[in-house]
């Protein structure tokens, strides 16, 4: 998975999260139907920087 595509998608889903960045993108597994990626999502809120560890299942 290209991190820029995932960043574009998450920017649309979370427009209130400023300076959205994907860090530590790692492919956990890929199969016939899906890819599973782990990553840290970082953004800036009114209270400062926020980071969240996430898993994404992607249907190519």
pLDDT for the residue numbered 60 = 78
Separation CA 50–CA 23 (nearest Å): 12
- Report the pLDDT averaged over residues 13-36: 91
pLDDT for the residue numbered 42 = 98
Predicted TM-score of the model (pTM): 0.84
Q: What is the three-state SS of 41-53?
A: EEEEECCEEEEEE
pLDDT for the residue numbered 29 = 87
- Report the pLDDT averaged over residues 34-57: 95
Return all residues near 4 (Cβ < 8 A) that are at least 6 apart: none
pLDDT band at 19 (very low <50, low <70, confident <90, very high): very high
pLDDT for the residue numbered 12 = 96
């Amino acid at each position: 998975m290209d991190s820029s595509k995932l960043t574009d998608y998450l920017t649309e889903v979370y427009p209130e999260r400023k300076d959205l960045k994907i860090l530590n993108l790692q492919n956990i597994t890929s199969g016939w139907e899906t890819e599973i990626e782990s990553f840290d999502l970082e953004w800036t809120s009114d209270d400062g920087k926020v980071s969240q560890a996430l898993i994404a299942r992607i249907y190519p």
